[in-house]
Amino acid sequence: MTDIDRAHTLALLRQMLLIRRFEEKAAELYSVGKIRGFLHLYIGEEAVAVGTMQALTPEDGIVATYREHGQALARGIPAGSLMAEMYGKANGCSRGRGGSMHFFDVSRRFYGGHAIVGGGLPVAVGLALADELKALARVTACFFGDGAVAEGEFHESLNLAALWKLPVLFLCENNLYAMGTALARHQSQPDIRRKADAYGMRSDAADGMDVLAVEEATRRAADHVRRGHGPFLLELRTYRFRAHSTADPELYRRREEVAEWKQRDPIVLLTARMQAAGVLSAADLASLEVSVAGEIDEAVRVAETGPWEPVEDLTRDVYTETP
């Protein structure tokens, strides 16, 4: 990369920083019991959500996993709405019914927040089928992890999307572990992108710690899909710095391995590149941190002051209510 666009890279850096600080705050609030249930932190993987979202338009659809805080923030769902959701408040993006694993925002075409590994892929295929039948030139971006690649739904969905040439962008966020099981211990062919070959589908892989590389690879892939050439599998090679969830003592990986990957922290990498290109000053960084901290404080305030859904509403929206 020779050219560094200051405004654009600053925006990317701010989004990654927002996700990082949001997640740190979420971990802190979890430890004091404000957030309960499972909490799967995104720290380390920020470049994937932020880089991929650059290639998607507001009309495109998003289907994500239970580790979706990064995607939700990068999609532009207000941090307060997400924090309130994790508090279980009625002003949360899913009215407090979903929690950390089930963010939804239909106005932004953000279709979850799926906590059955692989379960989002068929839904993404269907959203793309609807677009195809309505002749809408939209892309459905479907995030999933390396663990999902072992599920039947992955193979069935790739087959169906390729067979029907549907506009699905399959985004495999390969963080090397299916919860605690290393890729090489759950895949006979650990080169994930190659699985697309079996379905006659185009694929690519990119460095998921380099936000600019992610953006560039996603633009190429999304362009292929948008132009009606059928689905695309893009593998983004990344790493989760924190435990799988708050319940995970991390007995399956070495401290040294985590430390090595932290050398390639996506925020540190982008910061260094911007500094080397002379487009990021210490003052810029400080002001980014201040603005992000302000946004996080506001998010916590929104969550703290939000109302609880009345218990009388427990059974509302199991079915659509007819007036």
**Among the residue ranges 14-22, 105-113, 210-218, 263-271, the one whose residues contact another protein (CB under 8 A):** 105-113
Identified binder of another protein from the candidate list 45, 131, 265, 295, rule CB under 8 A: 131
Residues 278-317 close enough to bind another protein by CB under 8 A: 316-317
Q: Is 318 among the residues that bind another protein (CB under 8 A)? A: yes
Instruction: Report which secondary-structure segment, H or E, holds 252.
Output: none
How is residue 46 written in tokens? 């920020």
Residues 48-67 close enough to bind another protein by CB under 8 A: 61
- The residue behind tokens 């999307």 is 161
Q: Is 160 among the residues that bind another protein (CB under 8 A)? A: yes
Q: Is 167 among the residues that bind another protein (CB under 8 A)? A: no
**Among the residue ranges 22-30, 120-128, 216-224, 257-265, the one whose residues contact another protein (CB under 8 A):** 120-128
**Among the residue ranges 38-46, 150-158, 270-278, 299-307, the one whose residues contact another protein (CB under 8 A):** 150-158
Q: Is 68 among the residues that bind another protein (CB under 8 A)? A: no
CB of 66 to another protein, least distance (A): 12
Q: Is 93 among the residues that bind another protein (CB under 8 A)? A: yes
Q: CA 124 to CA 259: how far, in whole Å?
A: 35
Q: CA 177 to CA 261: how far, in whole Å?
A: 14
What is the chain's Cα-based Rg? 19
From residue 43, how far is each of 57, 70, 244 by CA, in Å?
Answer: 25, 9, 11
CB of 111 to another protein, least distance (A): 6
CB of 171 to another protein, least distance (A): 16
Q: CA 133 to CA 187: how far, in whole Å?
A: 35
Strand 232-237 versus strand 168-174 pairing type: parallel
Q: Is 153 among the residues that bind another protein (CB under 8 A)? A: yes
Contact 25, 275 (CB under 8 A): no
From residue 37, how far is each of 88, 100, 265, 296 by CA, in Å?
Answer: 10, 8, 27, 21
Residues that bind another protein (CB under 8 A): 61, 92-98, 102, 104-106, 111-112, 114, 116, 119, 121-131, 133-134, 140, 152-153, 156-157, 159-160, 163-164, 316-320
